[in-house]
Amino acid sequence: MDSSLAGRRVLIYSHDSFGLGHLRRCRTIAHALVDRFAGLRVLIVSGSPIIGSFDFKSRVDFVRIPGVVKLRGGDYTSLSDHIDLSQTLQLRSSILAQTAKTFAPDIFLVDKEPLGLRGEVTTTLKMLRSKQVYTVLGLRDILDDPVILRKEWDKRGTPRDLESWYDEIWVFGSPSMGNPLSELGVSPAALDRLVFTGYLKRSIPEIAQPPVGLPDDPFLLVTPGGGGDGETLVDWVLCALEQKPRPSRSVVIVLGPFMPQAVRHQFQRRAAALTGVHTITFNANMELLIARAEGVVAMGGYNTFCEVLSLDKPALLIPRSTPRLEQTIRARRAQALGFVSMLSGDGDRSADAMARALRELERQAPPSKAGADKVLNGLDVICSRTKALLSGNARDNVERA
């Protein structure tokens, strides 16, 4: 273990309005940093309502800020009914700024939103940059359709001169999947600070225990991520399983912690009536389930995509197309590269179409056959960039746009 960064501190901000994606990505990065560097400390500031359900390694801790929920139309509302959104945002901004002042980080990593949710990171960014703290913007491989996102950035006043706010911009993906900042009007100086890290490789936790009741025989895993918008996927799969012929494998469906209770109970009753179909509400260590699976059916969120590539599992993606096209764009590009197969939710929505896709998944090649194993260097690059910044070697060779 490298002790050269002992005593240094990394603060990670994740707005986490809904779902699990941002939190799980930030947790993966935090764990990689403390595994690599002895004595380094990481603090995550998150709005996730279930952050306490996850285990964190030694020298990784979290501060939870008041939660918000993203509505289907794209607007936000407070998670607590008795506090309005403006008050919630003020609280979040104040807690973040005070946490940054007290924690005194050497690097501040902001996840996805350049100025945070509704600009709540602006004060903290200005304060830390005045103290010569390194600031980094972390972006997933795909943000959204650039035409839609450009309008959103204009409406929110998102700056295009990102070089004025950030020392580096890390893209947690590969150039082969495209540039998430293309066509957004970002300044050339900002694009020059872009670093493609590669995807974040996942591994099976050493101490995690698999859930009880999994089938002993090979199974297909169905996961709609957090589950809040996964009703269509699960219903479609169950419709296919309720007819004949059906896939020969057993099926395990992880419904997700954010799926509405009434919907979850309905799916559990339907699954219980089928032989070889099992349901789980939530498991914080999805890597265990994916490692056991013969194939994966998912919506195509960033973390599940990383897990599919890392654990080299044939995958069928059924992406959502609202409120963002992120999953659809990722699935199309990944299918073109041969990493996964895709079934569009806007096409043939019959049970027969899903049943055919599930049977084809059983014969599909793993993503490594298309070279997916070569784009999983993200955690190594992040650790290298962290050391380069804090060691004064920020001009080390990196893969740029």
Residue-wise pLDDT tens digits, 67-79: 776 655 556 666 5
Alpha helices in 195-346 (DSSP H): 231-241, 261-272, 286-292, 302-310, 326-336
Residue-wise pLDDT tens digits, 302-329: 999 999 999 999 999 999 887 789 999 9
Question: What mean pLDDT comes out for the span 324-340?
Answer: 96
What pLDDT does 84 receive?
A: 76
Whether residue 397 has pLDDT greater than 60: no
Residue-wise pLDDT tens digits, 246-295: 778 899 999 988 899 999 999 999 999 999 999 999 887 888 899 999 99
What pLDDT does 309 receive?
A: 98
What is the pTM assigned to this prediction? Answer: 0.91
What pLDDT does 214 receive?
A: 81
Give residues with Cβ within 8 angstroms of 177, minimum separation 6: 141, 142, 330, 333, 334, 337
Report the CATH fold assignment for 219-374.
Answer: Rossmann fold (3.40.50)
All CATH 3.40.50.2000 domain ranges in the chain, comma separated: 9-201+377-390, 219-374
Give residues with Cβ within 8 angstroms of 191, minimum separation 6: 181, 401
What pLDDT does 111 receive?
A: 94
CA distance 129 to 164: 10
Which pLDDT band, with edges at 50, 70 and 90, does 22 fall under?
Answer: confident
| DSSP symbol at 324 | -
Residue-wise pLDDT tens digits, 99-110: 999 999 999 999
What pLDDT does 248 receive?
A: 80
Whether residue 21 has pLDDT greater than 90: no
Whether residue 401 has pLDDT greater than 50: no
Q: Which two tokens stand for residue 174?
A: 């590969």
Within 10 A of 82 (CB to CB), how many other CB atoms are there?
6
Task: Judge contact between 321 and 246, C-beta under 8 A.
Answer: no
What pLDDT does 48 receive?
A: 84
Which pLDDT band, with edges at 50, 70 and 90, does 400 fall under?
Answer: very low
CA distance 224 to 231: 8
Q: Which two tokens stand for residue 164?
A: 């004025």
Closest among 143, 141, 147 to 177, alpha carbons compared: 141
3-state DSSP assignment of residue 66: coil
What pLDDT does 11 receive?
A: 98
Average pLDDT, the chain: 90
CA distance 389 to 395: 9
What pLDDT does 225 receive?
A: 82
* Four-CA torsion 204, 320, 223, 230, nearest 10 degrees: 140
What pLDDT does 83 receive?
A: 73
Report the CATH fold assignment for 9-201+377-390.
Answer: Rossmann fold (3.40.50)
Closest among 206, 200, 257, 299 to 51, alpha carbons compared: 257
Whether residue 208 has pLDDT greater than 80: no
What pLDDT does 336 receive?
A: 97
Give residues with Cβ within 8 angstroms of 33, minimum separation 6: 10, 40, 42, 382, 383, 386
Residue-wise pLDDT tens digits, 177-190: 999 999 999 999 99
What pLDDT does 227 receive?
A: 77
The percent of residues above 70 in pLDDT, for the chain, comes to 91
Q: Which two tokens stand for residue 171?
A: 């893209």
Whether residue 170 has pLDDT greater than 90: yes
Question: What mean pLDDT comes out for the span 93-97?
Answer: 96
Question: What mean pLDDT comes out for the span 133-142?
Answer: 97
Give residues with Cβ within 8 angstroms of 370, minimum separation 6: 337, 338, 339
CA distance 203 to 394: 28
Angle, helices 378-390/21-36, rounded to nearest 10 degrees: 60
Q: Which two tokens stand for residue 207?
A: 């101490």
Say which residue, 84 or 379, is predicted with more confidence. Answer: 379
Q: What angle do CA 339, 345, 348 make, to 5 degrees?
A: 105
Give residues with Cβ within 8 angstroms of 340, minimum separation 6: 300, 305, 308, 314, 315, 316, 317, 331, 334, 367
Residue-wise pLDDT tens digits, 345-391: 677 789 999 999 999 999 999 999 999 999 999 999 999 999 999 98
- Burial (CB < 10 A; 0-12, 13-18, 19+), residue 132, is exposed
